[in-house]
Amino acid sequence: MPGCQRTQVHALQRVRGCVWAGVALAALLAAPAAAQGPVDAVRQLYNQGRYDAAVKAAAEARADPASVDAASLILGRACLERFRQSEDRADLVAAREALREVRPGRLSRRDQADYLVGLGESLYLEESYGAAAQVFAIALARSAEIGSRASERVFDWWATSLDRQAQTSEAAEREMLYIEILVRAESTAGREPGSAAAAYWIVVARRGLGELAKAWDAAVAAWVRAPLAEDQGVALRADLDRFVLQGLIPDRVRLAGAADRDRERTATALRASWEAVKKDWSPR
């Protein structure tokens, strides 16, 4: 960020947790449990967050040649979720092995989209952020297949990958990465005003570009329109509040002047201004 040292507030630490929420696998048809095939049952376990059970059931389902690829996909995704909970690297390795065994040509188009998400998550968790962003971008192009809720989460994964890549990049590359986030976020917000991910990342990108006044305006705008989001903006507002207080305000304070008194006066005024926005535009 030009002209000042940034307070690092990564999406990895976000309150909303969209990035850490698993992207659901293809929805089951409305059918009795007894009528479901083995892969459907495994998928249901995954979507219920029962990852240990999903891992076990997927390993069993892979014994059926007709189910082996879809079951391997779910096994890989479930191992990724377990890794995020336990940080046991054995789960990350198992996820990579399972995904590597998938033959994508034998998957449905919807499962192929899930496969892309799994590859992106695996790369991200291996800290290959640039490669992960590339894969997530391809998955986002399949948003009609993965659904709007999953697309929100994939957008978060994609933007977080670029944000993490930017933290270790030279100034010119860092600027280009935040421009990429900003362009996609603003385009998404224009099509989908209720996208909490887009609203949040517009603020982050503006700050990353050193446009602190525009980042402030974007944060206020995001707070005001937050009720358009799926949860009426509760999670987005929690994220925005944290980001403004811990990232944006400290950045603006550093530009206020060298004297401690000047900085404290600026910090107090900015916090009061933000609290006024929250009071004026929060439910009574």
pLDDT averaged over every residue in the chain: 88
Q: Report the pLDDT value the prediction gives residue 38, as an integer from 0 to 100.
A: 82
Instruction: State the pLDDT confidence band at 259, using cuts at 50, 70 and 90.
Output: confident
- The model's pTM: 0.87
Residue 261 has pLDDT above 90, yes or no: no
How large a percentage of the chain has pLDDT more than 90?
Answer: 77
pLDDT digits (tens, 9 = 90+) for 148-163: 888 999 999 999 999 9
Residue 182 has pLDDT above 70, yes or no: yes
Q: Report the pLDDT value the prediction gives residue 36, as an integer from 0 to 100.
A: 57
How large a percentage of the chain has pLDDT more than 70?
Answer: 87
Q: Report the pLDDT value the prediction gives residue 24, as an integer from 0 to 100.
A: 66
pLDDT digits (tens, 9 = 90+) for 111-164: 999 999 999 999 999 999 999 999 999 999 988 787 888 899 999 999 999 999
Residue 12 has pLDDT above 80, yes or no: no
Q: Report the pLDDT value the prediction gives residue 172, as an integer from 0 to 100.
A: 97
Residue 198 has pLDDT above 60, yes or no: yes
**Domain boundaries, given as residue ranges, for the chain:** 171-284
Q: Report the pLDDT value the prediction gives residue 7, as an integer from 0 to 100.
A: 42
In the numeric block, which tokens belong to residue 42? Answer: 């495994």
Give the DSSP per-residue string, the chain.
-TTSPPPP--GGG-SS-TTTSPPPPSPPPS--GGGS-HHHHHHHHHHTT-HHHHHHHHHHHTTSTTTHHHHHHHHHHHHHHHHHHH--HHHHHHHHHHHHH--GGGS-HHHHHHHHHHHHHHHHHTT-HHHHHHHHHHHHTTHHHH-HHHHHHHHHHHHHHHHHHHHTS-HHHHHHHHHHHHHHHHHHHHH-TT-HHHHHHHHHHHHHTT-HHHHHHHHHHHHHHGGGSTTTTHHHHHHHHHHIIIIIHHHHHHTS-SSHHHHHHHHHHHHHHHHHHHHHTS--
Q: Report the pLDDT value the prediction gives residue 145, as an integer from 0 to 100.
A: 80
